[in-house]
A and B are shown apart, each in its own frame.
Chain A
Amino acid sequence: MRSKDLETQLIERALSSLEERFGIDPDYFRSYHLFTRRNDVWCCTHQAGEVELPRIVRRGLRIARVFEHSVRPTTNAVQLFGHLVKRNRVDLDERETKRFLAGQTQDIHLPEVEGGECVTGVTDGFVVAFNMDFALGVGLLKGNKLKSQVPRSRRVIG
């Protein structure tokens, strides 16, 4: 079992990274129970976090995976908390959305670049892809290439 300190550290790293990269206010999550499993951060209501029962398979929703140099929010989490994203969002049209849902990598059209920087502040790394007002999921951006991070089980093909 992991010590409480390590768990708190991992959660704090996840929250501060979500704030730094996406502008998500960490206070939003303070009203929930957060916990870790390996390098994943999970979120549930306090009652769901505290209840003791035999043979619990899981509690709540996995919201992020913490890597050595980055934090990737899950598709399920950004679909729920997408309205909180202020930075590093890319807007996809219908065709791009279809490819994204199918789990593909694609060249996307980013807004005008001024002096090497995207005017909307989108930088290489994990971004949240949107269609209209709806957060679709997470992509990995490098230049104009967007690699969909939609898990295999959630992909929509055709």
Chain B
Amino acid sequence: MLARFEEMGFDLSQFVPALLRPPSQTFRINTLKGSREQVLKSLSLLEPEPVGWNDLVFRIKDRQKLGNLLEHFLGLIYAQDASSTIPVTVLDPQPDEEILDMAAAPGSKATQIAAAMANTGLLVANDVSPKRIPSLTANLDRSGVLNTVVTRLPGQAYGHIAAERFDRVLIDAPCSSEGTLSRSFRALEIWSKSAIKRLSATQRNLIMSAYYSLKPGGVMVYSTCTFAPEENEGTVSHLLDKFPDAIVEPTDLEGLNSQPGFSEWRGEEFNPAVKNILRLFPHEHDGEGFCVARISKPN
């Protein structure tokens, strides 16, 4: 893993300590349960600082057991890493739309989407894993979500069963999770070159299925919490090879220190449009490692 990070151009003496250091704790205000003002007043002792790119996401200085707070019990806040709030910020869900969250458990982003939709329209929160569905439904419940249908299907199915149905789709893909090492070493247990290969094959199927399920004029976001170019630029390039008219849109979020997508990896040149992918690295940005691409389907 370290050799690959070096190959990606990182100075390991800076990158590795940052990767292992827990980022600041952050929470997102759930506007389905209370107003921003109400929650900020109630949590003023924590001295929340806005992150900048999303006015419902805040950092706190001192570490807290957020799960023990009354505000958490009430579903007024959702403890969520700063980077993890970016895919939905970039997706920009709107009220009354039909949206698919293709790999939704445990629901950090599904609850964020439902709140952005103001509990209107339809959100399909899907996950293939029967073991992870209970955490998804529990988070939807605590967040007061009424617009959501939970399904348990391989995301690959959506391209067939719901072709051109959704206004927006999120694929927060299963990945090698290299960006989450500060939270847990689980990624190390599953990490291998063959795992990256296997995951990238799944991701290619998921991104294609998502694109099929998108209405013309629709928007999708592909995200992972890993650095591996095969799982990020490689997956998006694959979609662009099959659908050259898909557009990878530039994203510009206020106060976010991000990098563009890699142009090549181990001799493979990616489609030039992947430079519009947003890359987040822990030595430059206070949050987990993440990668986010906003892709639109022409009318």
Q: Contacting chain A: which of B5-13, B148-156, B271-279, B284-292?
A: B148-156
Is A158 on the interface with B (CB-CB < 8 A)? yes
B residues near A134, Cβ cutoff 8 Å:
34, 70, 74, 76
* Contact between chains at A54 and B124 (CB < 8 Å): no
Is A6 on the interface with B (CB-CB < 8 A)? no
A-B contact count (CB 8 A): 94
Dominant secondary structure of chain B at its interface with chain A: mixed
* One of A53, A59, A97, A156 near B162 (C-beta < 8 A): A53
Q: How large is the interface on A (under 10, 10 to 19, 20 to 34, 35 or more residues)?
A: 20 to 34
**Given that A58-B149, A101-B70 are contacting pairs, would A76 and B142 also be in contact in the complex, using a CB cutoff of 8 Å?**
yes
Interface residues of A in 50-83 (CB under 8 A from B): 51, 53-62, 76, 79-80
* Contact between chains at B147 and A154 (CB < 8 Å): no
- Report which A residues bind B (CB closer than 8 A): 32, 43-45, 47-48, 51, 53-62, 76, 79-80, 97, 101, 131, 133-134, 136, 153-154, 156, 158
B residues near A56, Cβ cutoff 8 Å:
149-151
B residues near A153, Cβ cutoff 8 Å:
138
A142→B206 CA distance, assembly (Å):
54
Dominant secondary structure of chain A at its interface with chain B: mixed
* Contact between chains at B122 and A57 (CB < 8 Å): no
Interface size on B, residues (CB 8 A): 38
* Contact between chains at A54 and B153 (CB < 8 Å): yes
* Contact between chains at A53 and B145 (CB < 8 Å): no
Smallest beta-carbon distance A144→chain B, Å: 23
What are 17 A-B pairs at a CB distance below 8 A?
A44-B149, A45-B119, A45-B147, A47-B122, A48-B148, A51-B124, A57-B133, A57-B151, A58-B149, A59-B148, A61-B140, A61-B144, A61-B145, A76-B142, A101-B73, A131-B70, A134-B74
Smallest beta-carbon distance A133→chain B, Å: 8
* Contact between chains at A53 and B149 (CB < 8 Å): yes
A134→B67 CA distance, assembly (Å):
17
Is B282 on the interface with A (CB-CB < 8 A)? no
B residues near A133, Cβ cutoff 8 Å:
38
- Report which B residues bind A (CB closer than 8 A): 32-34, 38, 67-68, 70, 72-76, 98, 119-124, 133, 137-138, 140-142, 144-153, 157, 161-162
A47, A57, A58, A60: which has the most chain B beta carbons within 10 Å? A57
A54→B155 CA distance, assembly (Å):
12
* Contact between chains at A48 and B151 (CB < 8 Å): no
B residues near A48, Cβ cutoff 8 Å:
122-123, 146-149
* Contact between chains at B137 and A44 (CB < 8 Å): no
B residues near A32, Cβ cutoff 8 Å:
146
